[in-house]
Structure 1
């Protein structure tokens, strides 16, 4: 199986550029269309759909309204990296590219090192790795 994850975006060029620079992934040029850009690596494709995709998917009634503020978070991708230093670097790079750090990097109770971020359009995502930096302990499970 191969996972394709898509974001509906205001600016597909900018979003593709942000995540491409953040993750050092190439564009999936064969998938490019007037309303779609994507990044691709073995096992997944990360796509960016322009506004006309709402109609193509029969989702016009779910399109965010201008001036309504940030929509609720109902899903987010977690981008699994190889090591804690890669998570730290990705969090710094995301903010330098115009994203926003929401939390972290920090240890989770399940033994991952992660950061919670927003991309330039306000979509939430995480960067994480299995394992913690040397000397960092897992916190207790929150009550």
Structure 2
């Protein structure tokens, strides 16, 4: 049986899987990339147990993928924002999304990403199909697609 960790493996893929391979982690990141940054928004969107969400968010903060920023003092409440390290995972998420759209979305993509500047969609290389700009997580908006 495969263990839960990849200790002893000198492999960048294995080390990355230690972080993003946990159940829910990539979906939590998806929610944050798509603009849901507050705990309740993430919990409601995923229907995830609050204790599990708390643990996963803390791990992502500990790993410097997210930072916690207070948005309210009384009671104190936080939102979660991507760090540069967290933004570096965006191409991975987009590749997984595009794979799922091709192979597991018979009614069309549930989410469409559009370029904030011109409204074009992105291709498999994360380039805007309308204006040709190379896009990053900061350049796109998520909208409900035909398969939503």
TM-score (norm 2): 0.29
Q: Which structure would you say has the larger RCO, counting Cα contacts within 8 Å and 6 or more residues apart?
A: 1
| Structure with the larger strand share | 1
| Structure with the larger helix share | 2
TM-score (norm 1): 0.30
